[in-house]
Amino acid sequence: MLRVLIKKQIFQMYSSFFCNRKTGKKRSLLSTILVIFLYAVLMLGCMGGMFAYMGDSLCIPLHKVGMDWMYMTIFASIAMALGIFASVFNTFNSLYQAKDNDLLLSLPIEPKKIVLARLSGVYLLGTMFSGLVMIPGVLVYGIEAKPGVIPILFAIGLFFAVSLIILVFSCMLGWIVAKIAIKLKNRSFVTVLVSLVFIGLYYFVYFRASAVLNQVAVKSVLYGEKIKGVAYPLYFIGKAGVGDLSAFLVCLFLAVLLVWITIVVMSKSFLAIATNQGGTVKVVYKRRKIKAKTVSQALFVKEMKRFTSSANYMLNCGLGTILILVAAGTMLIKGPAAMVVLREVFQGEAFQGEPNLIPLLMCLGLCSMAGMNDITAPSITLEGKCIWIPQSLPVAAWQVLWAKLKVHLCLTIVPVVLCCISAIIVVQPTRMIAVLMLALPVLYVWFSACFGLVANLLFPNLNWTTEIAAVKQNMVVLLSMLVGMLLSIGTIILYFVWLGEFVSAEVYLVFYTLLLLVSDLGMIQWLRTKGSNRFKKI
């Protein structure tokens, strides 16, 4: 039975290779091979190549000073961090929130076997991501340092021990997430918040990694002594990866012991958490007045709740709101110093002293950030097979479409206006340019919202099987992003390559603003007439 459960779990994890999640149909053999090949190229070529390059820059300097153990410590630490980051939420979802938990628990199967099957998937995922770090690191170490066969075998064994440690920490953090989730009413916001924290930490580490690694390569002996004193377990792990038998056996023994303890503890707590999803709270009736809403308000609240109830929808289609607010604050803090540099650059002969190039770049940069919000692009598709419900309501089709537009506009225009004000304060342009710096990004937000809704009305896909397919793997979302990039980055290139020789930046801003205004009015008119009729017939 355990073998069957593990096979089911692994197939479920990688089912997207064998069937199309949008339609639920099985892929052809050629399509399956092509998908697996592209996935392997993306993972091994991009991420594996990146860590191979990092290993190449570290291996020789550390090997020359006899710090091979530090090389292994660095790669083992990065592998553990990446593996835990990739599999912690998979632990929570696959173990405690799996849709077939009730079915499996109703069968004569020991909970321990269910836990082992679920953890096999968590282990494979963590091992895959840690392998993208450790395998290139070990290969580079073998090619550059030429340590011999025995140290390479120990390094491979360390990879196995690291994969077990990743499983332990993933289970521990997944258990903490599950205990917290039981107490929460709206988990979507918590998921988004935690995801944003992890994204922020990722980019912080990414941008700081180069400087830190350079410092390690230059001052390896000094950092090595600090690690031996303050973080001795990391030194022990590094020694285990370069041929120290006692260190390797201790690491492997501790990793196996921690895995055994983890399985025992999770087997005992699995039933209590998996069967308690916060749905048994007793509701006490309280009499209160309910304020009546207009049709427009009710539809807007309904669309807003649909957006805020889905972490996938918020993260993939509304992340621009957070980024724009961050940009507004950053601009006020760092903007004055950046303006000094920009003025020196754009007042040179190469740009003919054009005074409004900086406002032009600011405007189109704001448009680029606003284009990251594509809330309307999947809004029709997300109705799915329940599309008949809004169609059957005693309201005009335009009112339903307008409610979807309002969610996009409310969540994007306010941050954009704040960012525009920050840009105006920093740039201090003329009144005409200030008006254009405020009007153009706002009109672009209207364009982005209307275009996404128009495209989704023309190309709806109501036969999706998972929400992530409707939100992320959606042709309309991709089309909206491409058009947004073309209208922001493309217009900058167009001006600098060609139109900058014929018209000033101010004239270009005026023309672009008028073009967006006409496009917005045209799409709104289409949505009110032909778009509304098309919505009724979907």
Share of the chain above pLDDT 70, in %: 82
Q: Exposed, middle or buried by CB within 10 Å (0-12, 13-18, 19+), for 44? A: middle
Residue 350, pLDDT above cutoff 50: no
pTM: 0.68
Residue 311, pLDDT above cutoff 90: no
DSSP assignments along 357-389, one per residue: HHHHHHHHHHHHHHTT--SSTTTTGGGGGGTHH
Q: What is the pLDDT of residue 517?
A: 93
Q: What is the pLDDT of residue 274?
A: 62
pLDDT class of 56 with cuts at 50, 70, 90: confident
Q: What is the pLDDT of residue 463?
A: 79
Query: Across residues 58-85, what is the average pLDDT?
Result: 85
**CA pseudo-torsion sign 404, 405, 411, 412:** positive
19: three-class secondary structure by DSSP: strand
26: three-class secondary structure by DSSP: strand
User: SS3 helix, strand, coil % of the chain, rounded to 5?
Assistant: 80, 0, 20
Query: Across residues 501-514, what is the average pLDDT?
Result: 84
Q: In whole angstroms, what is the distance from residue 427 CA to residue 362 CA?
A: 9
pLDDT in tens, 405-442: 999 999 999 999 999 999 889 888 888 888 888 999 99
pLDDT in tens, 111-136: 788 888 888 888 888 888 888 889 88
Q: Residue 44 gets which letter from DSSP?
A: I
Q: In whole angstroms, what is the distance from residue 141 CA to residue 426 CA?
A: 50
Mean pLDDT of the chain: 81
Q: Identify which has the larger pLDDT, 347 or 105.
A: 105
Query: What is the largest distance, in Å, between two alpha-carbon atoms of the chain?
Result: 80
**Residue extents of the structural domains in the chain:** 2-14+47-274, 295-537
pLDDT class of 33 with cuts at 50, 70, 90: confident
pLDDT in tens, 484-498: 878 877 787 787 777
Residue 281, pLDDT above cutoff 60: no
Residue 348, pLDDT above cutoff 60: no
Task: Provide CB contacts within 8 A for 449, sequence distance 6+.
Answer: 375, 376, 405, 408, 409, 412
Q: What is the pLDDT of residue 349?
A: 47
Q: Identify which has the larger pLDDT, 242 or 102.
A: 242
Residue 447, pLDDT above cutoff 90: yes
Q: What is the pLDDT of residue 344?
A: 74
Residue type, 281: V
395: three-class secondary structure by DSSP: coil
Task: Provide CB contacts within 8 A for 126, sequence distance 6+.
Answer: 83, 84, 86, 87, 163, 166, 167, 170
Q: What's the half-sphere exposure (Cβ side, CA atoms, 13 Å) at 322?
A: 13
